[in-house]
Structure 1
Amino acid sequence: MPPPTASPLPPDPHCEHRRALLSGIARRLRAAGIESAFGPLESYRDFYGVLPAGTTGLVCEQPPTTARLQVTAIRVRHTLPPGQGGLSPDRRSWVRDADVTYDLHGGGEPAFEVTMLEDPDDGLGHSRDTSAQRTVTGDEQAVIDAARLWYGYRHTLRGTLPTADPRRERTRLRREVEKRDAAASAPDLRTELAGALVPARDALAADLARLDPGLLCWHFPRERSGRYARRAVVALARYGPDPGKRGPWLTARVRDGSLALGIDQLIGVNQDHRWDTAPWLWSTAGRGATAADRWQVVSPEEARPLTDLLDAYDVAAALETAGVCVDGDVAALLDGFPTRYLRAAHTEAWVTALYTQLARSAPWRFAAAYDTWRRERAGLGRPATGPVPLFGLTGLNQQRRPMLALDQRAGVPILRMVWTGSNARLSRVLWERPADLDAALAGLATPMPTAR
């Protein structure tokens, strides 16, 4: 049985009239190096109404994206004085300031409608037809200006790829390891547990008895200066049944230049630094961990081919070598290209964030990290599929924000750009390059510092 065919579009009764009105724009676009074709337009809708099926106009494509620009002739009748109407100050209501009609014999003033369509960002609840960017103008030059800004925007607004400075990075790493060694040799660790409400007192006492101050001070997150990361909170052990709900955690944080242990009410899945799955970083309980347990490689040299690529900021090659796939948005950003015309202003910040974070990642650990997350989710009776965020991309102050997420497809890790309002993320200890591995690769420390 042959597949059903799409219903033919109704004919545009104003087709020839529109073609004549748009002929000057078509010539000027061609002179600007922008090819257009006259034909049926893709439908879209917004506060001003819906484009009738079969309406014709000029169409410009921009491979390899699915973006397109459409221009058609319309008539506009203003219903309110200039400056009135539009979105209310509280952004809860809309007053339409004009009526748009595609009947060229109707009332109102002649005008051109310019529309930019592109596939919407995943996770924002938009569709292609409702996220169209539509503007109306009576000036041919304004149409040409809009088209020139849109056409070729991927190259015009391409971000600058970060470059590596090996000498500076070696100096930074040496300084960091020196500070780690100094902190571990004379650990300055205070305890702030007085009055803490912990339902599992015996478990807390056992964790404190096994805690190794030297290990904790050596592995605690650092700033580029080598000092303790002042805003970091490391969740060491939990005393509640569900890391997805707020509960008591044994934590370490910076107080007046030294580390302090305390009990904090945290949502475990929201923490960047969650070490309950990595006791070898802070406790004698991890003394038997092997290099494969800690690093997912049996020796530092096994990781060197990938770390060399990452140190050179050749992130795409490192991901490919590690067998990690990327979606179209991540691939675009790794090449410096905008993901959408609507988001092009954020390209530079997103490219910088992506390279800065992934250069410190360990792509060979992604599969094991995802499995750890999946086992925990399954143990809690929650869905254990789909992407889990790693870190956020900057620049947008809204509920749903762009984040880089780790997913898995047929056992293959894949990095995706997702939009989410959740603060949940995969702990960095599972997917970043361990500090002691970096030190071992640089010959600055023993590969596996042992608990004291």
Structure 2
Amino acid sequence: MPAPTTPPAPPDPHRERRRALLAGIAGRLREAGIETAFGPLETYRDFYGALPAGTAGLVCEQPPTTARLQVTAIRVRRTLPPGQGGLSPDRRSWVRDADVTYDLDGDGEPAFEVTMLEDPDDGLGHSRDTSAQRTVTADEQAVVDAARLWYGYRHTLRATPPAADPRRERARLRREVERRDAAAAQPDLRTDVAGALVPAGDALAGDLDRLDPALLCWHFPRDRGGRYARRAVVALARYGPDPGKRGPWLTARVRDGALALGVEPLIGVNQDHRWDATPWLWSGTGRDATAADRWQVAGPEQARPLTDLLDAYDLGAALEAAGVRVDGDVAALLDGFPTRYLRAAHTDAWVAALYTGLARSAPWRFAAAYDTWRRERAGLGRPATGPIPLFGLTGLNQQRRPMLALDHRGGVPELRMVWTGSNARLSRALWERPADLDAALAGLATPVPTAP
């Protein structure tokens, strides 16, 4: 049987009247360099109602995005006296002080409805037709002003990506490596696991025996000044069966300027610094790890072409050279463009966060990092597909937040912007540029002393 077809929308009975009422707005927009077309509008809906199918009006597109601005003539009938409205008496719903009708023969005063439609953000549960931004006004110039703001927003609100400062970065790296070397030469490591309750006490004892203080002190996360990152918590080894649930972990954190070992209840998948899959950063267990195991390249020089691009903040070229795809939102932010009109105010913060995070990344490691995550998920009997967040883009205080995530589709790593309320993320030790690789590339590498 042939697939059912959607019947065509009935023609707008007020088409020509709307065209005449909108002629002045179309002319003003043309003078401002904004061309519009008159025709059927894309439907949209909210809890106040929906635009009837087939309603005609002015349409303006904004390539290369899928955003669209629509204007139509309506009538507005006030339902409450001026100054009233707001929340209902039971404070459960919003009371609109006017009703909108698309029947131009109905009651009320003439007005215009301006609507902005764009594809919704991934992960927020919205659809294009339910996330439309609607404004009602009786003033033609107000319509023109809203259209002008919308039409030019991508360039008007475009952010300037940060510029690289190679000289400053070399000085920072040298200072950091000096502090790492000094910490490894005289490890100051305190252990406080007395009375720690773990399911397998022998496993904890074995990890403590194999722990190399010099390695741990050298590799511990650093701030921009090269000092221990005071807020960093490194999850070294887990003693529970499921890293997705809270359980005991051997941890390292900063206390009184030194590193302290302890056993803490953590949710492993929520940790930025989780090193159970990278023992060469802290334990004798990883003493035989090769450069390919540690860095996913056979030697430092193999990584140099990509690290040079990253150091120059040419992130797009670095990702392309590494065979990493990006989705439309990430591509827009790499060029400084807003992802949505609704989110344009956050562009500066998101672009800065994206460049800061990706400049320290190692794109050639993405495929191996995703495979590590996928194997763990499969071993737990959980879905092992879809994006896993790397870091947040900041700027919004809400449950679902924007994050840069790593996916693997069609055999190729892909960076995507997702919205999620989960705190799960991929450990930075799997996808960032290893500190010892950076030191080797800069000619600053010194043998990291190991415990006898």
Could you tell me which amino acid in structure 2 is paired with residue 100 of structure 1? Answer: V
Residue 285 of structure 2: aligned partner: 285
95-104 vs 238-247, which deviates more?
A: 95-104
**1:275-424 aligned within 5 A:** 275-424=275-424
Could you tell me which amino acid in structure 2 is paired with residue 381 of structure 1? Answer: G
Residue 220 of structure 1: aligned partner: 220
Could you tell me which amino acid in structure 1 is paired with residue 217 of structure 2? Answer: C
- Stretches of structure 1 that go unaligned for 5 or more consecutive residues are none
Distance 1:55 1:273 in 2: 55
Residue 138 of structure 1: aligned partner: 138
* Cα displacement (A) at 1:94: 2.0
2:181 counterpart SS class: helix
* Cα displacement (A) at 1:311: 0.2
Residue 110 of structure 2: aligned partner: 110
Deviations 1:272-294 (A, max 9, x none): 00000011000111101000000
Could you tell me which amino acid in structure 1 is paired with residue 132 of structure 2? Answer: A
Residue 101 of structure 1: aligned partner: 101
Distance 2:391 2:86 in 1: 36
**1:49-128 aligned within 5 A:** 49-86=49-86, 92-128=92-128
Deviations 1:14-65 (A, max 9, x none): 1111111100000000001100011100000113211011110100110111
Deviations 1:154-190 (A, max 9, x none): 1111011110000000000000000000000001111
Contact 2:185–2:449, Cα closer than 8 Å, also in 1: no
Deviations 1:419-448 (A, max 9, x none): 1100000000000000000000000014x6
Contact 2:369–2:430, Cα closer than 8 Å, also in 1: yes
**1:164-203 aligned within 5 A:** 164-203=164-203
Could you tell me which amino acid in structure 1 is paired with residue 215 of structure 2? Answer: L
2:130 counterpart SS class: coil
Superposition TM-score, scaled by structure 1 size? 0.97
Identity of aligned residues (%): 86
Could you tell me which amino acid in structure 1 is paired with residue 319 of structure 2? Answer: L
* Cα displacement (A) at 1:195: 2.5
Distance 1:258 1:92 in 2: 53
2:445 counterpart SS class: coil
Residue 35 of structure 2: aligned partner: 35
Deviations 1:405-424 (A, max 9, x none): 00001211000111110000
Contact 1:76–1:108, Cα closer than 8 Å, also in 2: yes
Could you tell me which amino acid in structure 2 is paired with residue 151 of structure 1? Answer: Y
Deviations 1:314-338 (A, max 9, x none): 0000000000000011001001001
1:264 and 2:264 equivalent?
yes
Cα 1:88–1:161 shift into 2, 3 Å:
farther
* Cα displacement (A) at 1:3: 6.5
Distance 2:438 2:33 in 1: 51
CA RMSD across the alignment: 1.5
Distance 1:253 1:406 in 2: 27
- Stretches of structure 2 that go unaligned for 5 or more consecutive residues are none
Distance 1:356 1:2 in 2: 53
Deviations 1:204-232 (A, max 9, x none): 00000001111000000000000100100
Distance 2:88 2:308 in 1: 54
Cα 1:211–1:88 shift into 2, 3 Å:
farther
Distance 1:19 1:85 in 2: 32
Distance 2:428 2:89 in 1: 41
Could you tell me which amino acid in structure 2 is paired with residue 451 of structure 1? Answer: T
Residue 449 of structure 1: aligned partner: 448
Superposition TM-score, scaled by structure 2 size? 0.97
Distance 2:235 2:352 in 1: 28
Distance 2:79 2:56 in 1: 26
Residue 26 of structure 1: aligned partner: 26
Residue 435 of structure 1: aligned partner: 435
Could you tell me which amino acid in structure 2 is paired with residue 244 of structure 1? Answer: G
* Cα displacement (A) at 1:271: 0.2
431-440 vs 43-52, which deviates more?
A: 43-52
1:129 counterpart SS class: helix
Residue 152 of structure 1: aligned partner: 152
Distance 1:131 1:186 in 2: 58
Number of residues paired by the alignment? 451
Contact 1:287–1:450, Cα closer than 8 Å, also in 2: no
Distance 1:46 1:91 in 2: 19
Residue 47 of structure 1: aligned partner: 47
* Cα displacement (A) at 1:4: 5.6
Contact 1:287–1:451, Cα closer than 8 Å, also in 2: no
Deviations 1:113-171 (A, max 9, x none): 00000000111110000000000001001000000000021111101111000000000
Distance 2:173 2:139 in 1: 59
Cα 1:177–1:87 shift into 2, 3 Å:
farther
Residue 16 of structure 1: aligned partner: 16
Distance 1:192 1:156 in 2: 55
Deviations 1:342-390 (A, max 9, x none): 0000011000000000000000000000000000000000000111110
Distance 1:84 1:443 in 2: 72
* Cα displacement (A) at 1:7: 2.0
Could you tell me which amino acid in structure 2 is paired with residue 225 of structure 1? Answer: G
